[in-house]
């Protein structure tokens, strides 16, 4: 299985992979319960979160099957663009808790330098073939070489054991109102 650091020419493919991979994600579908709204707005969300990693070598892809978007230490997605997207696009019912959840995310982020994995996804037809594990190990090897902490926010409770197998530990549980719970996780470099 070949993992590549994605270039700008591959970013549309990364966005398409993430859109397919996250279609059943509890948080994504809470924010966008209408599939048309999800298809319209989630790709923009991926682009906002993915741009810092793409520009600094943190976006990794397995051709046509999976991708991981790592945000490097001291890099950040465009918060203004993200706030604008969420304010104008998420379901009205989700808005009361949304910004409270994002404030909790800000509080949960480690203060020390870290690689942040906001999105890692595998095409549902390729799941169970080791694509996610290979992408995770590839990214963690970079964290280990840098001697840098890794941080993620698991939006699916069933994925937490997968991350724990790679040495992540549960950090915070964010559970606000009707918003699906999110487990933040950290991993020290090895």
Task: State the pLDDT at residue 76.
Answer: 86
* Residue from 115, 135, 117, 111 nearest 63 by CA: 135
Task: State the pLDDT at residue 10.
Answer: 93
**How many domains does the chain divide into?**
1
Task: State the pLDDT at residue 47.
Answer: 94
Instruction: Give the residue numbers spanning the domain of 49.
Output: 4-187
| 56-115 pLDDT per residue, tens | 899 999 988 999 999 999 888 898 999 999 999 998 888 888 889 988 998 988 999 999
Q: How far apart are CA 127 and CA 21, in angstroms?
A: 10
CATH number of residue 50's parent domain: 3.40.630.30
Task: State the pLDDT at residue 93.
Answer: 86
Neighbours of 122 (CB within 10 A): 24
Task: State the pLDDT at residue 66.
Answer: 97
Q: How far apart are CA 38 and CA 104, in angstroms?
A: 23
Q: Does residue 150 register a pLDDT over 90?
A: yes
Side-by-side strand order, sheet with 66-71: 4-5, 59-62, 66-71, 114-122, 149-154, 182-187, 169-174
């Amino acid at each position: 299985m070949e993992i590549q650091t994605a270039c700008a020419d591959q970013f549309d493919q990364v966005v398409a992979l993430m859109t397919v991979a996250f279609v059943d994600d509890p948080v994504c579908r809470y924010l966008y319960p209408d599939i048309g709204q999800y298809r319209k707005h989630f790709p923009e969300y991926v682009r906002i979160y993915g741009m810092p990693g793409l520009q600094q070598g943190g976006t990794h892809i397995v051709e046509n099957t999976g991708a991981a978007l790592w945000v490097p230490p001291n890099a950040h997605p465009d918060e203004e663009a993200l706030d604008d997207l969420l304010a104008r696009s998420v379901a009205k019912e989700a808005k009361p808790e949304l910004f409270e959840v994002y404030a909790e995310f800000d509080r949960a982020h480690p203060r020390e330098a870290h690689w942040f994995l906001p999105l890692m996804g595998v095409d549902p037809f390729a799941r169970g073939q080791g694509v996610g594990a290979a992408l995770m190990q590839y990214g963690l090897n970079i964290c280990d070489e840098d001697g840098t902490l890794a941080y993620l926010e698991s939006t699916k409770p069933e994925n937490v054991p997968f991350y724990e197998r790679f040495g992540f530990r549960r950090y915070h549980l964010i559970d606000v109102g009707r918003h699906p719970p999110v487990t933040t996780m950290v991993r020290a470099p090895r």
